[in-house]
């Protein structure tokens, strides 16, 4: 997701997106531990997307 699209979302939509990304991150970690991970780059993308959403949520609160 790009930052501009995230800034247009309300807090409920951001929470939903964050929850989905955290679930995906968990699934990727489990796949990695079982040596079944095929898209190694996705771990980095998900981690950065989570950080991006958390940053935007903090900006909206403050």
Q: Could you report the per-residue pLDDT of 14-38, keeping only the tens digit for each?
A: 999 999 999 999 999 999 999 999 9
**Cβ atoms within 10 Å, residue 9:** 17
Structural contact between residues 21 and 50, judged by C-beta atoms closer than 8 angstroms: yes
pLDDT the model gives residue 4: 93
pTM of the model: 0.91
pLDDT the model gives residue 62: 80
Place of tokens 């950065």: 48
Residue 35 belongs to domain spanning = 3-61
Structurally, the chain folds into a number of domains equal to: 1
Maximum pairwise Cα distance, the chain: 41
CATH of the domain at 7: 1.10.287
Output the six-digit token pair for 11.
Answer: 């807090």
pLDDT at 41 over 80: yes
């Amino acid at each position: 997701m790009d930052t501009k699209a995230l800034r247009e979302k309300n807090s409920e939509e951001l929470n939903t997106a964050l929850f989905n990304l955290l679930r995906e991150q968990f699934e990727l970690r489990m796949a990695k531990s079982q040596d079944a991970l095929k898209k190694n780059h996705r771990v980095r993308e998900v981690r950065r997307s989570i950080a991006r959403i958390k940053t935007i949520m903090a900006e909206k609160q403050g």
